[in-house]
Amino acid sequence: MKPIFFLFVMVVAFGVNAQQEKLRAIIQSDAQWYLRDKVLDPSGEYFPDERLLGQGFALFTYTDGDFQAGIRYENYQNVMLGFPTGYQGEGITYRYARIRRDNWDITVGNFYEQFGSGLIFRSYEERGLGLDNAMDGVRIITKLGQGLKLKGVIGRQRKYFSKGEGIVRGIDLNWSTNEALPFLGKKGIIASLGGSFVSKFQRNFDPILNLPNNVGAFALRSTLNFKGFNWTNEWAHKINDPSYDNGYIYKPGQAILSTLTFSKKGLGILASIKRIDNMSFRSDRNGQQFDLFINFLPPTSKPHTYALAALYPYATQINGEVGGQFEVNYMIPRGSFLGGKYGTRLSLNSAISNSIDKSPLDDDSRGLKGTQGYVSDIFKLGPILYFSDINGSISHKFSKKLKSKFTYFSLKYNKTVLNDGVGDITLLENLGMDSIININAFVWENQFKLMNGQTLRSEIQWALADGFRGDMAMGLVEWTINQKWTLAVQDIYNYGHPTTSRQIHYPIVSLIHFNGPTRVQLGYGRQQQGVFCVGGVCRVVPPSNGLSVSITTSL
């Protein structure tokens, strides 16, 4: 009845305010027709029983002054390979009503929200991964004056076409100090302080373990901006939270994230460090994969968009990791010897992620169910390397018609952890069993402007790996015919795969059409098996071959 009620409210509001209506819609539909490929999938393990799989949604929003309402209809008949199988069926999965008036902002129904960087609370959607932990309840935001903003949330999280049984409650206070202390702005300082508290309630029915019904987490944060420098810090603590993720141990969790950036004309620098210890936080202690995460643990590594480097993505290790990232971008000025007529852009990025110290307890046990799990020295590094990445690029515009970019990657990828999903406790008890793959990759990208507004972009990629996938090469040509049509052809050749039968080509042809707000993409080709990540959150993608179509439009 709730979706019907919200739809009724929207229809009535639309009818009464016909002269001021602001009704908008976003519609997307994706489908793939799968073909049997005995080279790619010899046993047919991944070939679906249903040849045509698809999914889509339609989001309608209505705005009238300080009132807003919306509903989203979703349809999965059946979900495409690689997406969580819990998405099956159709229905209205998202509906809300919101009013913003004076210093108040109130939402009832579904909403997305985030406290700070998300270390203890982030409700969000990542449609490409099939992740959606939207809250269903009430959110209240109010401005208290003197730069103070207060947020309060309560509700339950979305779990596919239902809701998790756990109740999530949170409060966040942020103070923009410049409103209360205007002299800071006169000195060029912009600062803010914040704090959050989030708790979940889930009844314990375990006959053996004494599991907490209530689990709380709190976080403190700060931001300081001064003369091109921006420094953000956040520290979080979570009380004992035995769960499937941590093996039902009772150790509290902690996280710290600090990022310092500097920017001025032609120069940008970023340095970030992070340490996570047992910070999985779900509204269902037995949840797995993407299900019912309350928080978000941001990665400290650069996401790569080039195809071969992207085959080795990093997934945040929620049970513990320590890492950092450093990046510098510099533009050699125009008119200089190295800058040339248009300038030359240089970029250097490095990132590393490692296990934390997890020493045994006094009884020499480590990670056992029902115990404190382990002890950890915050200043001590663990013995397992998860991931490292050093990459650099140089891009130069030679003329109005030609620009080029060359990028080099040096990666160390712990296949046992990041691809096979083996936990660090297992590796600590069996040191040396993990497999670290060394990858050196090169990318040469060129973009040519042709006559009549046409553009031709090309990529040549080459990756040398000492195991796992082995050596690969890739070529891509993308032709932008005009504002409405783009044609792209690419082929990845895994010529150095350790298994001879896997030394095959992965061709893909794509045709994209734009017509105002409508985008239609057709694609045909092979999809490699691997791990697909967005923002440190990953899902496994099975191998496939077939014809795909994606349609997106807004009204």
**Position 53 in a domain:** no
Residue 541 lies in a domain: yes
> What does pLDDT average to over the chain?
92
CA distance 377 to 359: 8
In a domain, 451, yes or no: yes
At 358 the pLDDT is: 95
- Average pLDDT (296-315) is 92
Q: What is the pLDDT of residue 457?
A: 97
Confidence of residue 1 (pLDDT cuts 50, 70, 90): very low
- Nearest C-alpha neighbor of 418 from the set 384, 390, 441, 392: 384
pLDDT tens, residue by residue, 336-387: 988 889 999 999 999 999 999 999 999 999 999 999 999 999 999 999 999 9
Query: What integer is the mean pLDDT of 525-538?
Result: 84
- Closest to 547 measured CA to CA, from 523, 526, 527, 528: 523
* pLDDT exceeds 90 at position 19: no
Is residue 10 included in any domain, yes or no?
A: no
Would 546 be classed as within a structural domain? yes
Instruction: For residue 534, give its domain range.
Output: 302-555
CA torsion through residues 238, 239, 241, 245, sign: positive
Question: Which whole number is the average pLDDT over 105-120?
Answer: 97
Dihedral in degrees, nearest 10, Cα atoms 494, 497, 499, 500: 50
State mean pLDDT over 162-188. 94
DSSP state of 302: P
The CATH number of residue 373's host domain is: 2.40.160
Of the CA atoms within 13 Å of residue 480, those in its CB half-sphere come to 15
Pairwise CA distance, residues 121 & 98, whole Å: 21
Domain count, the chain: 1
What is the rounded CA–CA span in Å between residue 191 and residue 401? Answer: 44
What pLDDT shows up at residue 3? 46
In a domain, 64, yes or no: no
281 CA to centre of own chain: 16
Asked whether residue 151 carries a pLDDT value surpassing 80, the answer given is yes
The answer to whether position 291 is within a domain reads no
**Phi, psi (degrees; rounded to nearest 5) at 403:** -135, 150
Tokens representing 202? Answer: 């889930």
User: pTM for this structure?
Assistant: 0.91
Residue that wins the pLDDT comparison between 452 and 534: 452
Query: What local confidence, expressed as pLDDT, does residue 538 receive?
Result: 83
pLDDT of residue 51 exceeding 50, the answer is yes
Q: What are phi and psi of 184, to 5 degrees?
A: -65, -40
Q: Is the pLDDT of residue 259 over 80?
A: yes
Share of the chain above pLDDT 70, in %: 96
Query: Please, what's the b/e burial string for 456-490 (b: 16 or more CB within 10 A of its CB; e: otherwise)?
Result: ebebebebebeebbbbbbbebebebbeeeebebeb
* pLDDT tens-digit readout, 479-518: 999 999 999 999 999 999 999 999 999 999 999 999 999 9
Dmax over CA atoms of the chain, in Å, equals: 75
Cα–Cα distance measured from residue 520 to residue 487, given in angstroms and rounded to the nearest whole number? 12
Nearest to 98 by CA among 139, 148, 126: 139
Is pLDDT above 80 for 270? Answer: yes
Q: What is the pLDDT of residue 21?
A: 62
| Domain presence at residue 1 | no
- Mean pLDDT, rounded, for 149-154: 98
